[in-house]
Amino acid sequence: MTIHKEGRTLLFVLLIIFVGIIWGADYFFPESVIRIIIIAAAIVFYLLILQFFRSPVFEIPKNEKQVLAPADGKVVVIEEVEETEYLKSKRKQISIFMSPVNVHVNRMPVAGTISFCKYHPGKYLVAWHPKSSTENERTTIVAKMKNGTEILFRQIAGALARRIKWYVKEGQPLQQGEEFGFIKFGSRVDLFLPLDAKVLVKIGDVTKGGRTAIAELA
């Protein structure tokens, strides 16, 4: 387990602030219950932020026929939809909601070359809202597999997630399970798969990014 690069500066600054808070509690409230409460609250808050930026290290089970979960979280949508931004055709949509306690590293669901990447500013509706996929701040990324199949996935900001980070650009090749982005403090990732893809998960299933197979491609 490591700490993700997106959190290192923030955690260092917070550590300095909390050391100051604890020193102040010792100075102004010695031998007081208030001191204990302040110190305990500071430690708990810091640990919560620390766990949010954790980045587990593990072996990626690569499989060209499988689509891996792009994020830790819970499956909240499985449906047939019309994808209107890039693919412009009907697809199977699978959406994964990421709560603040999940790992927020986003990983490539398939191996391929990035054929499209676009950032959209937008609203901050709760991530499970039906319109969050088209109205919230988001990025749309498309990976073209070596057999020509294109898989579209979106990072979507939620009510708490106010910062989406992506590390890819058009023309860049990436391996399955490789990190492509990070979303801070709760969010959602949508995938749009071919209609003949076999979905391996159901609503409510818990996923692990880069480890859980969520679909099989024909």
Q: How many C-beta atoms surround the C-beta of residue 33 within 10 A?
A: 8
Closest C-alpha among 25, 191, 200, 19 to residue 93: 191
CA distances from 88 to 81, 127, 152, 194, 205 (A): 10, 23, 11, 12, 28
Q: Say how many C-beta atoms besides its own lie within 10 A of residue 187's C-beta.
A: 32
Do the strands 164-166 and 105-107 form a parallel or antiparallel pair, or are they unpaired? unpaired
Please work out, in degrees rounded to the nearest 5, the angle formed at the alpha carbon of residue 194 by the alpha carbons of 189 and 199: 65
Biggest CA–CA distance in the chain, Å, is: 69
Let me know if 89 is a catalytic residue: no
Q: Which amino acid would we find at residue 151?
A: I
Set 95, 132, 133, 187: catalytic member:
187
What angle do helix axes 5-28 and 33-52 make, rounded to 10 degrees? 180
**Tokens of residue 137, six digits:** 């701040």
The span from the CA of 137 to the CA of 161, in Å, is 9
Which positions are catalytic? 187
